[in-house]
Homo-oligomer: A and B are copies of this chain.
Amino acid sequence: MLHVEAELIYEFPGSAEVLLLLEAARSSDQAIQNERLTITPSVEIARLDDSVSGERRAVFSAEGEVVIAYAANVEVLPRDDTLARVEQAPVRDLPGEALRYLRASRYCPSDRFESFCRREFGDLRGGDRVEAILDWIHGHLTYEAGVSDAATTALDTFVDRAGVCRDFAHLAITFCRASDIPARAVSAHAWKLDPPDMHAVAEVYLGGRWRLIDATRKCATNGLVRVAMGLDAADIAFMTVFGRATLVSQTFSVEAVQRGFADHNPPGC
């Protein structure tokens, strides 16, 4: 059982709407308990949750200094993220909702990498190809802050050969889509991520379901609490402000807790 906490403090100079993708997704691979989202000062929260993916979306109005606090206990159910020898389905066998994850997006211009992937990964298909892609990224990219920023695309990262989790995820997604494998970006609360932060990973659709991959190789996938899913970073930002805001502080933490203990001692008490 993982105990997740996040506290975001922002200053909104004028009235703004905030879209928050911070809560654990209500998907079949994770069980959520004792969850609490509090906005201070108190505001009305509209919910735009997505019933298909389980993505949780909170929308509210903010002005002045606002404290957003989230806590939950999440049991990540056993996941099988095996890739080796998993087959790549023909397009006709994909679920309709997976089709869009074959396409190029703002930060994942997969249309530009078809030749490269054909050259580099040759005849490998399915899970073996994804493993080769992850090996390539591990061998050719340096994890380094300060090289990339919010405008950095996978094409930039391919040239720069360095970046952070967002950039690693984008490049993996880009190579997968250029290989006709549906791939999407996932944000997650991540156990043992150092320094603690929201993590950006990816999912590929193989063998009839989505499988998590962490191109940075920093976190075990069963230590990941899935939050938002989308084409790339444009879709999974934990906070989107329609208006202006400045960061005051933000902290994230994920801790392993004993199950019985956590059940009777809700987080934050």
Contact = CB atoms under 8 A, between A and B. Distances in A.
Interface stretch (A2-10, A113-121, A126-134, A199-207): A113-121
A105 interface: yes
Given A106-B104, A158-B159, A91 B17 contact: yes
Interface centre among A93, A95, A99, A151 (most CB of B within 10 A): A99
B162 A115 contact: yes
Interface in A71-124: 90-96, 99-100, 103-106, 109, 111-113, 115-116, 119
Contact of A57 (B93, B99, B103, B230): B99
A19 B91 contact: yes
Contact of A159 (B113, B231, B242): B113
Interface residues of A, number: 47
A48 interface: yes
A235 to B, nearest CB: 6
Given A48-B94, A94-B48, A160 B106 contact: no
Interface centre among A60, A151, A180 (most CB of B within 10 A): A151
A59 B142 CA distance: 32
Contacts of A96: 48-50, 57
A79 to B, nearest CB: 26
A256 B91 CA distance: 36
Given A57-B99, A112-B151, A115-B142, 18 more contacts: A17-B92, A19-B99, A46-B92, A48-B96, A57-B96, A60-B92, A61-B92, A103-B234, A103-B235, A105-B234, A106-B106, A111-B234, A115-B147, A115-B160, A116-B159, A116-B160, A158-B159, A180-B242
